[in-house]
Structure 1
């Protein structure tokens, strides 16, 4: 009991402080106190993959899960992005967007958080978890959607995207990145007037965002993904009874397709992006996920090269 009280005394104030800090960033953006960053650190390209001197088949923006803390990092050390670039050289891929910062301010580069990363690393993940719920909160959601949608549009333009060019934009999101991806659709459509394809990988989102301007959403999931299942359970707008939610309107319009990646888990040694977990056909989970994402993009947009069937 004493241990419980000690932990409650420590964690309780931390959670309260984090909840307030997470809201501060979106309020600072809305009030105009701070301007979102739009330049990358020296040596970091705005996109990789297809050469910028000719139009690619599509631009792919990767919105990582709650492990995203800086421009360069991702939960898997960038393996999924590297595999996509290697497997689909016709794509220009952006992996630097900060989905959990309306101000596009990398968390791990802030002095206080740099100290916390060395001493209390768990708080970095906690920050991004809370930001996901801020993005889902009806009081902050429109402003958060506009902020991150604008960030994505800016990064795409710096990577060479021309509005009204008709080149598809693919938003590939992992876990909580799905909340950000679905929320960015309207702002991207308004700023770039581009075809938008969504691919969620273990997507954790509340189902409230309007998907009218998205061409389609492919839901890559697994029966063993408990995190995605929790999201579908705790958010009422994901329930079929909520017929007017953005998610269910898209479902009725035939805009949502499911691709099974069983027996992958949300994280851990058997996750969707594990390079060591093997399938019966000899591929790793990372290989299968990469193949599926590429196949979905090529098939949906009628590419002549590559896989013909978007099933794994």
Structure 2
């Protein structure tokens, strides 16, 4: 009981403050008080994979889940990005976008958060969770979408993307990154005039974002993914009853295709990103996820498929 009271007294005020401050960045962006950051750490390229002077098969932007807190890949140690690059060298892949920061300011690099990370690491995840709900809030959603969509467009330009080139852009999102990916489609269409495909992996999003300008939306999911299922419960726009939501309009237009990755879970040893959990065919869960993503991109844009995965 004493431990319970201690954590209630410590975390309660912190959570309240975080809830109040979660809107800070998007409001600062909207007021034009700060410009989003564009510089990357020394020695870090704006994209990996295909060479900058070679025509890429597509540009892939990876939007990580709530574990994303710095420019370099986190959460799974960047293993999904590495696996996709290894299996599809024709892609130019960006993993540095900060989906939970409209100002593109890495959370772990801020002095206060660096101090907190050493003491109360859970707060880093709670911060990003709060940002998902800010991005989903109808009062802030248009501004948040414009901010992160602009961030993605800027990073793509710095990585060599030329507007009106017709080169496809694929937004690959994991968990809460799906809220940002679905919200960035319109901004990318406006700024780069590019064909956009969205791939959600265990996507946690509210279903309200307009997907009119998405060519295709691939929903990678599993019957054992409880976290994605929670999202469909708490966000009514994901339910078929709300026919006018962006998600349901896209489904009626035939843009959304569901791909089952059973028996994968959202997290853990059998999670989508786990290199340890293995399938009957000998592949790890991570390898199956990477193979599926690569096959979907190649099937859409003409390159030969590298897998005969039955999930497709």
Do Structure 1 and Structure 2 share a fold, with TM-score over 0.5? Answer: yes
Name the residue aligned to 2:51. 51
Question: Offset at 1:304?
Answer: 3.5
Question: Offset at 1:307?
Answer: 3.9
Give 1:95-106 correspondences, 5 Å limit.
95-106=95-106
Alignment check: 8 A CA contact 2:99 2:177 kept: yes
Alignment check: 8 A CA contact 1:296 1:310 kept: no
Whole-angstrom CA distance in 2 between matches of 1:308 and 1:89 = 19
Alignment check: 8 A CA contact 2:179 2:206 kept: yes
Question: Offset at 1:34?
Answer: 1.1
Name the residue aligned to 2:65. 65
Deviation per CA, 1:100-133, whole angstroms, max 9, x where unpaired? 0000000000000000111110000000000000
Whole-angstrom CA distance in 1 between matches of 2:235 and 2:42 = 40
Whole-angstrom CA distance in 1 between matches of 2:58 and 2:73 = 23
Distance 1:68 1:6, change over 3 A: same
Question: If the length of structure 1 is used for normalisation, what is the TM-score?
Answer: 0.97
Deviation per CA, 1:249-285, whole angstroms, max 9, x where unpaired? 0000000001000111101111101001000010000
Name the residue aligned to 2:178. 178
Whole-angstrom CA distance in 2 between matches of 1:133 and 1:173 = 16
Name the residue aligned to 1:26. 26
Deviation per CA, 1:61-95, whole angstroms, max 9, x where unpaired? 00000000000132110111000000000000000
Give 1:234-253 correspondences, 5 Å limit.
234-253=234-253
In the alignment, structure 1 segments of 5+ residues that lack a partner are: none
Whole-angstrom CA distance in 2 between matches of 1:174 and 1:310 = 21
Distance 1:168 1:299, change over 3 A: same
Deviation per CA, 1:150-172, whole angstroms, max 9, x where unpaired? 00000000000000000000000
Matched, 1:158 2:161: no
Alignment check: 8 A CA contact 1:295 1:310 kept: no
Question: Offset at 1:305?
Answer: 5.5
Question: If the length of structure 2 is used for normalisation, what is the TM-score?
Answer: 0.97
Question: Offset at 1:309?
Answer: 6.5
Q: RMSD of the TM alignment (CA)?
A: 1.2
Question: Offset at 1:54?
Answer: 1.7
Whole-angstrom CA distance in 1 between matches of 2:308 and 2:301 = 11
In the alignment, structure 2 segments of 5+ residues that lack a partner are: none
Question: Offset at 1:10?
Answer: 1.9
